[in-house]
Amino acid sequence: MNYQFSERMSTIRSSSIREILKITQNPEVISFAAGSPASESFPIQEFSELSKEIYEKNPVQALQYNVTEGYPPLLDKISKRLKEKFKVGNENDSTLVVSGGQQGIEFIAKVLCNEGDTIICENPTFVGGMNAFRSHGANLVGIEMDDEGIRVDNLEKAIKNNKNAKMIYLIPTFQNPTGKTMSLRRRKEVYELASKYNILILEDNPYGELRFNGEDIAPIKSMDTEGIVIYCGSFSKTLSAGMRLGFVNGPSKILQKIVLAKQVSDVHTNIYFQILTDKYLEKYNYDAHIEEIRNLYRRKSNLMIKTIEKNFDKRVQFTRPDGGLFLWCTMPDEIDINEFTKRALEKKVAFVPGHDFLPDYDEPCHCFRLNYSTPSDESIVNGIKIIAEVINEFLDK
Amino acid sequence: MNYQFSERMSTIRSSSIREILKITQNPEVISFAAGSPASESFPIQEFSELSKEIYEKNPVQALQYNVTEGYPPLLDKISKRLKEKFKVGNENDSTLVVSGGQQGIEFIAKVLCNEGDTIICENPTFVGGMNAFRSHGANLVGIEMDDEGIRVDNLEKAIKNNKNAKMIYLIPTFQNPTGKTMSLRRRKEVYELASKYNILILEDNPYGELRFNGEDIAPIKSMDTEGIVIYCGSFSKTLSAGMRLGFVNGPSKILQKIVLAKQVSDVHTNIYFQILTDKYLEKYNYDAHIEEIRNLYRRKSNLMIKTIEKNFDKRVQFTRPDGGLFLWCTMPDEIDINEFTKRALEKKVAFVPGHDFLPDYDEPCHCFRLNYSTPSDESIVNGIKIIAEVINEFLDK
């Protein structure tokens, strides 16, 4: 049979990240390609003890169907933390548990975007976010960033030039893939622009807890007096990525629709891990745990940056993130980044070429993304030195 | 702000099941409304032991990101079981783990249906299945069933009358809500019709393992030589509903698209429970466990049927399922089923009125669904007697 697929799925290409991740299953390959948290960051002992308690005390609840919105005590704790720590959420907002932040983005796209709507985003940005919007038939318009984040002049032009502009998709803090953080001033300007043009903002904040330099900057959602910002967060980078547990905070009217979308999809998020996370937040010191992860990533990012400074040709530019998992390297214009990536893979070092992060696939790109949370210290040093050699090969040509 | 939602979500109404389920949180209410497995069917002791083993032996794998397709050893076991026990799956098919069978249906709708496509289904049918299709803008056309399942003459008419008929959505075994099972002859006729008109079949089989009377009937998927049947299954009714673990088997070309849809939604299904289920299937006797559930549901369904026979007015018809979770009652035409449901709720007994299961909301309906897997034996007897009283109230009017 000749299968006819839906139009909405036709613009999604399988990203090269997936192909690269398959190669990185080879233990000889040093990988800077993943976006995974450090395995040593998982609170294994605590989870093990809490698990034992769950199977002893309330196993039926942990294995039976539950409500779509999320386990009520966990919802309360998430809402409280968002409010107290980030000033996120007011009386018109509510919180919903989702199966990872990515699912939040997908449901937001589903309930808000008609096919042909335009989503304005940072350029480059997270491929999973873009593909969630693409999978519901939305078009993407990417806006360049400067050191303070997305450029407001071009953002306003894009809003004016796209009559069906529906939403601005942003990762203001430790952006994926660039590691950049939007300044407070820029956040205010972006919010005011969205308010002026009556357009929604999706603030995707999976890395916000992972600041290892400088001071926290208030989320855009904390400025939201008009109900125009939806906020996605996650436990994937702080407790466990594999349990698939994230959350959405936003206008209750929008969240009611998202609950319907979740109900027809996975019905509810795995309830055992909702109970487990609730108990974790109750019994253990989550902030102290996060502090340990920050220390770990500070050390790893410093090591990567020091090794880059020592070994990379000076024509290669790179970002110095204040948190999160990634930094972003920009090569001189003459370099073919796909050839460069291929050559590094031959030398058993993997990273993600920049193309994957472009809203417009065909735009030229001379960048690549490096992850420092997953590789060992030794791999960071050896891998960066090998990349430096490949850079020299290409620049000497 | 006045939110503009997507058109695709506009035809989904919040089902009355949700509202009724809220009322049934009240422990005084006897509920036949749920579709939950019996709590005593969960293998708690086994899960507890396996969990301990996971946190001791491979906790990092159980908490880190994993591949979208599913945990490979579990995929192998599911494929093997489908092949050996149900003759499901050939060399052009593959298997994918999803976060519950419902998610499988939703992804199938997403990758195959354009807005305005028609899905032909049984009338009545599972509200979650219908809403998954509705949420991607598909229209539903319901076809009446007789004692052998969906009527083939009307099915053929519907295919002819709907040029954009894309798929036939069926629950051939212990159908939700009717408890009916499609005969082997009818399955063959439906398959031949789909083949003749080049139309796909989605065979939803969440209850297929739960036969407590008679002999198993081959799934439609077992007849699929042309790659036109997609099959959804689940561990929700046999191991745990709350872990959210199901699977899809179907043509690899379609499953590749579903993998993309899953990648932009929850990325992968909770990996801890995939490993746990894999270990369960390896170490314990799954078939013996299922046999226990079958014995339990045989007893409960017999008790419900006996109590109905003794107490319901003879003008009320009801089905006698050979497996699954539900039976379906049909009242005389003059009864307003919503008033009837409301009156039963006043007397603290809950069930789901038939309207929720209709492809066309506005069609008249005089039916209601009863679940026997969740209530205790005592509740079955007392609840059925109360419904019998309400029936008499309404028939005496």
Cβ-Cβ contacts under 8 Å, B261 against chain A = 9, 135
Cβ-Cβ contacts under 8 Å, A254 against chain B = 3
The C-alpha atoms of residue A307 and residue B51 are separated, in whole angstroms, by: 41
Q: List the single residue in A5, A114, A131 with the smallest CB-CB distance to B264.
A: A131
Among A111, A236, A265, A276, the residue to mutate for chain B (most B Cβ within 10 A): A265
Q: How many Cβ atoms sit within 10 Å of the Cβ of residue B318?
A: 20
Instruction: Say if residues B354 and B365 touch (Cβ distance below 8 Å).
Output: yes
Cβ-Cβ contacts under 8 Å, A59 against chain B = 42, 44, 47-48
Question: Residue A360 CA to chain centroid, in angstroms?
Answer: 19
pLDDT for A45-104, tens place per residue? Answer: 999 999 999 999 999 999 999 999 999 999 999 999 999 999 999 999 999 999 999 999
Tell me the residue ranges of DSSP E strands in B171-292: 200-204, 229-234, 246-251
**3-state class (DSSP) for residue B246:** strand
The residue that leads in pLDDT, B105 or A12, is: B105
Cβ-Cβ contacts under 8 Å, B325 against chain A = none
Q: Which of A392, A214, A243, A244 is nearest to A316 (CA)?
A: A392
Q: List the single residue in B5, B8, B65 with the smallest CB-CB distance to A242.
A: B65
The residue that leads in pLDDT, A24 or A257, is: A257
Tell me if A112 and B12 make a contact (CB, 8 A cut-off): no
Helix pair angle (A337-346, A377-396), 10° resolution? 130
Instruction: Say if residues B263 and A100 touch (Cβ distance below 8 Å).
Output: no
| Residues contacting residue A205 through CB under 8 Å, at least 6 positions apart | A171, A172, A173, A219, A231, A232, A233
**What is the identity of the amino acid at B94?**
S
Counting DSSP H helices and E strands in chain B, the numbers are 13, 14
Among A119, A270, A271, the residue to mutate for chain B (most B Cβ within 10 A): A270
Question: pLDDT value at position A302?
Answer: 98
Q: What percent of chain A has pLDDT over 90?
A: 93
Walk along chain B (397 residues) in steps of 10 and give the mean pLDDT of each run: 92 75 84 94 98 97 96 98 97 98 98 96 97 96 97 98 95 98 98 97 98 98 98 98 98 97 97 98 98 98 98 97 98 93 95 94 93 97 98 88
Cβ-Cβ contacts under 8 Å, A168 against chain B = none
Q: Which of B80, B105, B102, B106 is nearest to B93 (CA)?
A: B80
Question: pLDDT value at position B397?
Answer: 65
Which residues face B230 on adjacent strands?
A: B202
Buried b vs exposed e over A165-177: b needs ≥16 C-beta within 10 Å?
Answer: bbbbbbbbbbbbb
Please give the domain boundaries of chain B with CATH numbers for all domains.
11-42+288-396 (3.90.1150.10), 65-283 (3.40.640.10)
Tell me if B257 and A135 make a contact (CB, 8 A cut-off): no
Q: Which of B349, B320, B362, B354 is nearest to B337 (CA)?
A: B354
**3-state class (DSSP) for residue A142:** strand
**3-state class (DSSP) for residue B105:** helix
| pLDDT tops 70 at residue A397 | no
Tell me if B44 and A36 make a contact (CB, 8 A cut-off): no
User: Can you read off the two tokens belonging to residue B393?
Assistant: 């109230």
Question: pLDDT value at position B387?
Answer: 98
Q: List the single residue in A7, A110, A266 with the smallest CB-CB distance to B9.
A: A110
pLDDT for B166-194, tens place per residue? Answer: 999 999 999 999 999 999 999 999 999 99
CA distances from B385 to B25, B306, B311, B312, B345 (A): 21, 11, 6, 8, 14
**3-state class (DSSP) for residue A378:** helix
The C-alpha atoms of residue B219 and residue B187 are separated, in whole angstroms, by: 8
**3-state class (DSSP) for residue A278:** helix
pLDDT for B344-372, tens place per residue? Answer: 999 999 999 999 999 998 899 999 999 99
Nearest-Å Rg of the Cα atoms of chain B is 21
SS (H, E, C) B295-340: HHHHHHHHHHHHHHHHHCCCCCEECCCCECCEEEEECCCCCCHHHH
Instruction: Say if residues B385 and B313 touch (Cβ distance below 8 Å).
Output: no
Confidence of residue A22 (pLDDT cuts 50, 70, 90): confident
Q: Which of A273, A269, A255 is nearest to A79 (CA)?
A: A255
User: Can you read off the two tokens belonging to residue B119?
Assistant: 């899905």
Confidence of residue A163 (pLDDT cuts 50, 70, 90): confident
With residue A45 as reference, give the H or E element that holds it.
helix A44-57
Tell me if B135 and A52 make a contact (CB, 8 A cut-off): no
